[in-house]
């Protein structure tokens, strides 16, 4: 394979040696093992973050990891089904603002790149997430209402 591994995410660096020989961004990133590891670290950071951690207080971390993984896997082209509740209506009562959302994206980007995923694959991962900002935050900024 193009990354020197067997395609199962064992090398830790994916998409760094030119175009991947895989069919989907999910496969190119390294498949289930790599995506799960990134999502797990990302969710842990969200829970522990001093800026957005309060939003996760009282939430089931393992359940969130499962839903975040399947939502991500679907957006990257994996043949899995997202079985969680619809994302936008679920988050509306939280009254997220753009700052909350952007902090989440920054933590996610850091974990994606920390795993050795290339910039182009990181962008493929982050683009669908960014597209949710306007509907998730309903245009709220970080300032007072």
pLDDT digit of tens for each residue in the chain (145 aa)? 333 333 444 334 444 454 545 689 999 999 999 999 999 999 999 999 999 999 999 999 999 999 999 999 999 999 998 887 777 666 766 778 788 889 999 999 999 999 999 999 999 999 998 888 777 776 767 655 5
Q: Which CATH number fits domain 25-137: 1.10.3720.10, 3.40.50.10190, 1.10.490.10, 2.60.40.1180?
A: 1.10.490.10
Listing DSSP states for 76-143 in one string gives: TT-S----S--HHHHHGGG---HHHHHHHHHHHHHHHHHTTB-HHHHHHHHHHHHTTHHHHHTT--SS
Question: What are the backbone angles phi and psi of residue 126, rounded to the nearest 5°?
Answer: -80, -30
Which tokens sit at 109?
Answer: 């980007």
Nearest to 142 by CA among 101, 90, 82, 106: 101
Nearest to 136 by CA among 80, 97, 83: 97
Determine the pLDDT at residue 87: 72
* Residue recorded with tokens 């499962």: 66
Separation between Cα atoms, residue 31 and residue 52, nearest integer Å: 28
Determine the pLDDT at residue 26: 95
Determine the pLDDT at residue 22: 61
What are the sequence ranges of the domains in the chain?
25-137
Determine the pLDDT at residue 43: 98
């Amino acid at each position: 394979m193009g990354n020197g591994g067997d395609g199962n995410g064992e090398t830790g660096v994916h998409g760094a040696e030119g175009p991947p020989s895989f069919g989907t961004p999910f496969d190119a990133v390294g498949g289930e093992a790599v995506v799960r590891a990134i999502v797990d670290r990302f969710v842990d950071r969200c829970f522990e973050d001093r800026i957005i951690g309060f939003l996760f207080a009282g939430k089931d971390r393992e359940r969130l990891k499962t839903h975040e993984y399947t939502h991500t896997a679907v957006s990257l082209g994996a043949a899995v089904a997202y079985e969680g509740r619809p994302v936008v209506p679920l988050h509306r009562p939280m009254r997220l603002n753009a700052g909350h959302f952007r902090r989440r994206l920054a933590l996610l980007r850091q974990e994606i790149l920390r795993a050795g995923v290339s910039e182009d694959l990181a962008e493929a991962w982050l683009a669908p997430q960014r597209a949710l900002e306007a509907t998730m935050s309903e245009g709220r900024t970080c300032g007072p209402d």
